[in-house]
Amino acid sequence: MTILLTALDPASTFKDLPDAITIGGMRLSREKFVLKATAIMAELPDQGPVAVLAEPTMNAVAAIVACLLKRVPVIPIPVDSGRQEIDHFLRDSAATHWIGPLPDDLPLPLATPTVAAEDQALPAMIFYTSGTTGAPKGVRLSASALAAGIDALAEAWQWGPEDTVVHGLPLFHLHGLVLGVLASLRIGSKVIHTGSARPSSYAAASGTLYFGVPTIWSRMVADKATARQLRDARLLVSGSAPLPVPVFNGLAELTGIKPIERYGMSETIITLSTRPDGERRPGWVGMPLAGVQTRLRSENGELIELNSDETGRLEVRGPMLFDGYLNQAEATTAAWTPDNWFITGDLAVRDESGMHRIVGRESVDLIKSGGYRVGAGEVENVIANHPGVAETAVVGLPDSDLGQKIVAFVIRADSASSLDAETLIEFASRNLSKHKRPREIVFVDALPRNAMGKIQKKLLV
């Protein structure tokens, strides 16, 4: 089988159940799921990567697992990707195969299989994450990194085969796919993907661990009767962006459960978390997981002592970190310190006990909206392609529901005085995932700049 999905091994001692895996309303035992994945595996090429449209269906999950079983790199493709995004994913990864419906009959530039470079280990999975200054970068994750990340969480959350995971998160993100589904196929727990992230869908499922992002939990707190239906859960887990303190407190009051917060990114899986048997402090993301080390650096590059309340740049290392960015040696080198610590780009505070609080990004160019991380540069590149746009700057502004909403400040071209916001948002939506589209367009005559001519986005926030 594979070192990753140990609960699918026929020789494992995990108890199987007829509804061990529920995706999109379809229920399968692990044995029947393996048969489904094996049938797909027989049709896979010997070399990849293989791109899978990561729909919330049993077929899509089985296809992803088939790639892992065959040890062919798999790329989960966002279901709402635009043409430009799909073209980039496929060309950049040199994908050799596509699984799933073809969006809008888009012709696929599938590549001829190539042999991986000797100094670049074959990844199990490639997640594309938005860069802050351009096209998304492919994050190369090995099977051993995925296994280490899952095992560390299982230990921290006391997560075992007797648990049932419930969530409705997208399966093209690490949170929804790796934590939300693949982890159960390693740990032996049941998993229920609700198909949607509505509070009513969560409440209708019977589980012990519920996974969500702040937007989901905010809506849950607003629906008090539904929130109270989660009182029998063991853990409510929030991630992908900071959970507002009023939402934390609201969940605790309505369910009797203080939520677990954790911190991670595609490059690191999860590195920090609060614990069921430890302090769960509103606004804090907890302690390092097993095998993880963290450190903070001041603005002038000096290490910050553990008992300091000073904010610093968070750097981490551990067995669950990625193997580098696909085809981007310079970006990979820039992401690591000379002594091999990963530079997260986030600012944090660490108290005397080692508890961490994430303060924000070093850059204003990474927007956290509805649980997604969106690179402002990618959105800017698309908007700038409209003939009526002379220049644009994209930022994230505070939003009570999404955490941050994507707002584009736009200078119209001289010939486009009639260009309106609705037209520009619709244009962006055709070429970007739904969650990356701007929610608001602000037309301006000029953008704030420094003496070197660089746009000062902090003046727009």
* Three-class secondary structure of residue 67 per DSSP: helix
Q: Provide the token pair at 42.
A: 């027989």
Which residues 6+ apart lie within 8 Å of 25 measured at CB?
195
Q: Provide the token pair at 175.
A: 């949170």
Query: Maximum distance among all alpha carbons in the chain?
Result: 69
> For domain 6-350, which architecture applies?
3-Layer(aba) Sandwich (3.40)
Task: Please give the order of strands across the beta sheet that includes 125-129.
Answer: 97-99, 50-53, 74-77, 125-129, 137-141
Task: Supply the pLDDT for residue 274.
Answer: 97
Q: How far apart are CA 30 and CA 65, in angstroms?
A: 12
- Domain residue spans of the chain: 6-350, 366-459
What global pTM score does this model have?
Answer: 0.81
Any idea what DSSP says for residue 49?
Answer: -
- Sites in the chain below the pLDDT cut of 50: 1, 113-119, 132, 451-453
E strands present in 65-136: 74-77, 97-99, 125-129
In tens, the pLDDT along 52-96 reads: 999 999 999 999 999 999 999 999 999 888 888 888 899 899 998
Any idea what DSSP says for residue 435?
Answer: G
Q: How distant, in Å, are the alpha carbons of 91, 107, 122, 267, 441 from that of 118?
A: 21, 31, 9, 21, 47
- Main-chain phi, psi angles of 421, to 5 degrees: -65, -40
* CA-wise closest residue to 97 among 121, 129, 73: 73
The answer to whether 190 and 215 have CB atoms below 8 angstroms apart is no
For the chain, first and last CA: distance in Å? Answer: 50
What's the CATH superfamily of 366-459?
Answer: ANL, C-terminal domain (3.30.300.30)
**Residue tagged 């929030």 (tokens):** 238
Q: How far apart are CA 26 and CA 143, in angstroms?
A: 27
Which bin fits 371, alpha (ψ -120 to 50), beta or left (φ > 0)?
left
Q: How far apart are CA 420 and CA 442, in angstroms?
A: 10
The amino acid sitting at 170 is P
Q: Which residues pair with 349 in a beta bridge?
A: 357
Alpha carbons within 13 angstroms on the beta-carbon side of residue 412 total 14
Q: Which residues pair with 178 in a beta bridge?
A: none
Q: How distant, in Å, are the alpha carbons of 166, 168, 375 from that of 261?
A: 16, 18, 23
* CA-wise closest residue to 380 among 410, 360, 402: 410
In this structure, what is the dihedral angle of CA atoms 242, 79, 97, 42, given to the nearest 10 degrees? 90
Q: How far apart are CA 205 and CA 62, in angstroms?
A: 22
Q: Which residues pair with 391 in a beta bridge?
A: 411
